[in-house]
Amino acid sequence: AHSAARRGAAAVEADYTGLDAAAFHALLKRGCKEGIAGAPLVAETARRAAAGRLTSLELQMVLLVAGGPGWESGRSACLDAVAAAPETAVSILSVHAQVNALPPVGFTDRTVGQSLNTVFYAQALWPAAERPVEGAWRSAATKKAARHQASLGLLAQLADLPDSSRDLAQAASGATHLPTQPDGVTAEDGRSSISVLNEYQQTRIVTGLTYSTNGEGPAHLPTFTCTAEATHDGKAVRASATASTKAAAKTAAAAGLLERVDAARDGRAS
């Protein structure tokens, strides 16, 4: 069976459109793991990806295991399919973590705004012990959608393919000003958002600046949610963020609060 699968993966003239799911999986597994990229196999992989007929495990094999120039078109087609259904990226990363005996992919989340104007931000983290990889921040009108786009971006980064993830928040929420650096560093001079907010407190731009943090989850994989609050121009302003450490959650929450305060000072609705 092993030899037959290897020969099938390497075939240059074959028609795999009629193969059932199990038979095709065997061919694909052999081709990905051994770097065999027969043109019929790659073409059928691209066709099934576009039709939504590949499992998360099969997409993981093509995107994160298969290599070599022969697989380029198949890998691009698979990432295009994931981009069309970005929730799939979360499943693929989960499978990849399980296969490599790693903890689940982590997320840092934060929110900016309130009620109908809330914008959700997410950043995905690949937890490889020797070289953790942080994806780009992505925004959306819901936490789930932001995580999906963040996962898509991280997947593209791990696969070394062009990133097709997007920021969805502006179109979805009508926000006119979105943070460009939600990691807590201001663009102007590199100071942290926490430092800038402390200065705002000292100069009475804001008053009553407070941070409150709550932790949850198991001891080996905790999550912390921090809410930063202050009063500006007589109005309460707040932002929350979730991360795997207290410090990261506070930094992200401070970035969100600073963004809202600056938007209010500039007369912008965030």
- In tens, the pLDDT along 165-223 reads 998 875 444 444 444 445 443 434 446 788 889 889 999 999 999 999 998 877 766 78
Query: How is the chain split into domains, by residue range?
Result: 2-85, 106-265
Q: How many Cα atoms are found within 13 Å in the side-chain-facing hemisphere of 74? A: 30
Assigned fold of 106-265? Double Stranded RNA Binding Domain (3.30.160)
Cα 224 versus chain centre, distance: 18
Report field, pTM of the whole predicted structure over 0.75? no
Whole-number mean pLDDT of the chain?
83
pLDDT at residue 129, as a whole number: 61
Instruction: Over range 214-239, report the average pLDDT.
Output: 87
C-alpha 93: how far from chain center: 10
Angle (CA) 187-193-197 rounded to 5° is: 125
Task: Tell which residue, 229, 230, 223, has the closest CA to residue 246.
Answer: 223
The rounded distance, in Å, linking the Cα atoms of 147 and 59 is 19
